[in-house]
Amino acid sequence: MTAPFDLSGKIALVTGGSRGLGREMALAFARAGADVAVVSRKLDACERAAAEIEALGARALPLACHVGRWEAIEPMVEAVYDRLGAVDILVNNAGMSPLYPSLGAVSEEAFDKVVGVNFKGPFRLTALVGRRMHDGQGGSVINISSIAALEASPGALPYAGAKAALNALTLGFAAAYSPNVRVNSIIVGAFGTDVSDHWADPRDPVRPGWTRAGWRIGRPDEIVGAALYLASDAASFTNGAMLKVDGGPVRARAGPL
């Protein structure tokens, strides 16, 4: 295997691809040789990310789509196949976890939005794209899950439940479309994207590289290695895996034991 992470000739579709971890993965795929469909709710943000991808010499297709809306997904998928010809790599990255003051204050509308974006959308997208991959040349589906699914906290409980359901989808679709379609999850911890701006107490800021008690949050580019591995032939025998990229267990206190 001379170039295990080479994606030359591949087409990637990345939801939530205009910013944060999605943007980092989309750019990494382009650097590895892939063309990329960048999908998120706001077209102007997709167009900015697409311009960055094209500057790397790859084709880019910006598309606006709210993946929590079932009826919007199939037209978006058709547009990708019409314009780029295929999907070899699907990254279900779009997600949301709105803050709430208490569990009793979570509205049905907010709950449904969280489930829609984090669970319903990936289900429908993988059902459509995964079937085409299975009937064609195969491919790789990467679900971006969260450590919240394994360590649920009261402050993000609907999100944790939706990401746990996404992990179940990973296993189910891995079985449904094997062996030529691989479906895996990256279980992410805290990353210093724009989302983390909402976490920080101004007296105790949380930023990439910030540490306390032997713990830090990740830089957005630190997702790239896992994504390239799962997208490429380097992971040809990896299917139904849950790969944690979270910096490891939080230690109770700083310094060596």
Q: How many residues does the chain have?
A: 257
Taking phi first (over 0 means left), then psi (-120 to 50 degrees means alpha), and beta for anything else, what does residue 135 get? alpha
Instruction: Phi first, then psi: give them for residue 227, nearest 5 degrees.
Output: -65, -45
Question: With contact defined as beta carbons under 8 Å apart, do 194 and 220 qualify?
Answer: no
Cis peptide leading into residue 179 (ω within 30°): yes
Which tokens is 71 given? Answer: 């009826």
Minimal CA–CA distance to 187: which of 97, 247, 232? Answer: 247
Question: With contact defined as beta carbons under 8 Å apart, do 143 and 123 qualify?
Answer: no
Which tokens is 40 given? Answer: 């998120």
Instruction: Phi first, then psi: give them for residue 32, nearest 5 degrees.
Output: -85, 0
- The question of whether 159 is a catalytic residue gets the answer yes
Instruction: Phi first, then psi: give them for residue 95, nearest 5 degrees.
Output: -160, 165
Q: Residues 81, 100, 159, 177: which is the catalytic one?
A: 159
Q: Who's near 154: CB < 8 A, 6+ residues apart?
A: 103
Angle at 38 between CA 197 and CA 235, to 5 degrees: 95
Provide the annotated active-site residues. Answer: 159
